[in-house]
Amino acid sequence: MFIFDVGTDALFEERSRQFTAWGIPPALVERARSRIRVMWGTGPGTWVDEWGLLAREAEADGDLLRAAQLWGATRFPSLATPERVAAQHEQLRCYLRASPTFPAGFRRRTVPLRTPEGEHGLPVHEFTRRGRRRPGVLVMSGGVDTWKIEIHRMAMTTARATGLKVIAVDMAGTGENPLPLTPHSDRQLHALIAQVREEHPGEPVLYFGLSFGGHWAVKLALQGAVDAAVDIGGPTGAADVRTDPLALPYGMAGIVGNAMGLDALPSAQEASDLLDGFSLRRQGLLAADGGAPLLAANGDHDQYVPLGDTTALAARKHSTVWIVRDATHCATERFRPLLLGSWGWLRARTGGSRLAGSALRLPSRRFVTVHG
């Protein structure tokens, strides 16, 4: 693990909307922003100390879920320092103490998996609608810096709105996942999906991936490993555009490098080779037209992922592409209507009412250009 250059002002400028989406009130985000001057290290004005102070205040006030969300900001953007590892432990402690108050059924468990990398356990969080749920299991993950506790609100509301069981996981290289990020990290997800199918025979199994998690959603759909998948902002290599990974803004190269378990930023050539390894086009997966239905969506001004990584997927027979106008990575500016629309799309593929599915898509239609 290693630290890397990233300016705190720039990071707040780009990520404040993300922090509020986790559930942190805008006033607290601004309070942290006004105090933080240093990304790494400890002491007054540092990232971990100032966010940690807000987390402790929330816990003292009895708001354990907010404390967990604030500890998530404290450990952001990666576990590159011991104090961030400690913050993640605090986040999990507060989150589990808050869990009896969740308005959906919640269970934390560790799923035993066997992959080519060996046997290991993968901690997951399961959400179910109280009362009768609909058949179907949706595995959900965030990306390289937004992990399963950060997507808590999205996972819980998706379970309640769709009736599907939602299983939130950390993708490889993040959170509590014991494996580093590699181009073949889908093998772990294959093992998890096989376990889910064994536990829920006859039920559809789906995948929802946000940001880098969307990469795995696309790959699993192309492989036919799931019955349907939703990709929001995933890098795929479908555009076949060579980019400079080290030029990615807001410290993203360092975030991804930590997820891959590197000890330092690679050279330009090494970084390019590593990125090429994740290209689904170079893996030959985009040539075939089989697989499962896929919904791929993103903003038309993504600052990290080429637009063609999403639009090129429309050429595939089983894919639908939604491009959200005047929006950035993962369409954060229009994420709520986009999420509603994805629920409608999922309902239509799990035996739900087509009328209800169409109604859920209505709020997003004014912002979305449909391809495929």
pLDDT at residue 242, as a whole number: 75
pLDDT at residue 246, as a whole number: 87
Q: Which pLDDT tens digits describe the chain residue by residue (372 residues)?
A: 899 999 999 999 999 999 999 999 999 999 999 999 999 999 999 999 999 999 999 999 999 999 999 999 999 999 999 999 999 999 999 999 999 999 999 999 999 999 998 999 999 999 999 988 899 999 999 999 999 999 999 999 999 999 999 999 999 999 999 999 999 999 999 999 999 999 999 999 999 999 999 999 999 999 999 999 999 999 999 997 777 888 888 999 999 999 999 999 999 899 889 989 999 999 999 987 889 999 999 999 999 999 999 999 999 989 999 999 999 999 999 999 999 999 999 998 888 666 555 655 556 677 788 886
CATH number for the domain harbouring residue 207: 3.40.50.1820
**Residue where one domain finishes, among candidates 71, 99, 127:** 99
pLDDT at residue 372, as a whole number: 64
Residues 182 and 267 grouped into a single domain: yes
**Residue where one domain finishes, among candidates 81, 99, 117:** 99
pLDDT at residue 364, as a whole number: 67
- 97 and 63 Cβ atoms separated by less than 8 Å: no
In a domain, 3, yes or no: no
pLDDT at residue 355, as a whole number: 54
Sheet-wide strand order for 105-115? 105-115, 118-128, 165-169, 137-141, 205-210, 228-232, 294-299, 319-324, 368-371
What's the structural domain count of the chain?
Answer: 2
In a domain, 31, yes or no: yes
In a domain, 1, yes or no: no
pLDDT at residue 353, as a whole number: 60
Residues 47 and 120 grouped into a single domain: no
Residues 169 and 227 grouped into a single domain: yes
Q: Which domain holds residue 117?
A: 104-371
In a domain, 2, yes or no: no
CATH number for the domain harbouring residue 22: 1.20.1440
pLDDT at residue 360, as a whole number: 56
Q: What is the pTM of this model?
A: 0.95
Q: Enumerate residues 6+ apart whose C-beta is below 8 A from 28.
A: 54, 70
pLDDT at residue 131, as a whole number: 86
**Residue where one domain finishes, among candidates 82, 99, 116:** 99
Beta-bridge mates of residue 201: none
pLDDT at residue 132, as a whole number: 85
In a domain, 230, yes or no: yes
